[in-house]
Amino acid sequence: MPTVNFSVPEDVKEAFNNTFEGQNKSAVIADLMREAVDRAKGQQRAKEAYQRILLRRQRAPVVTEAQIRAAREEGRA
Q: What is the pLDDT of residues 46-60, one digit of tens each?
A: 999 999 999 999 999
- The domain in which residue 42 lies consists of 10-76
0.85 exceeded by pTM: no
**5: in domain:** no
- What's the structural domain count of the chain? 1
Does residue 77 have a pLDDT over 90? Answer: no
Cα within 13 Å of Cα(40), Cβ side: 6
Helix residue ranges, H only, 1-77: 10-19, 25-59, 65-76
**CA pseudo-torsion sign 46, 47, 50, 55:** negative
The sign of the torsion formed by the CA atoms of 50, 55, 59, 64 equals positive
Is residue 20 within 8 Å of 28, Cβ to Cβ?
yes
Assigned domain for 17 exists: yes
User: What pLDDT sits at residue 55?
Assistant: 96
d(CA 1, CA 51): 38
| pLDDT at position 8 | 96
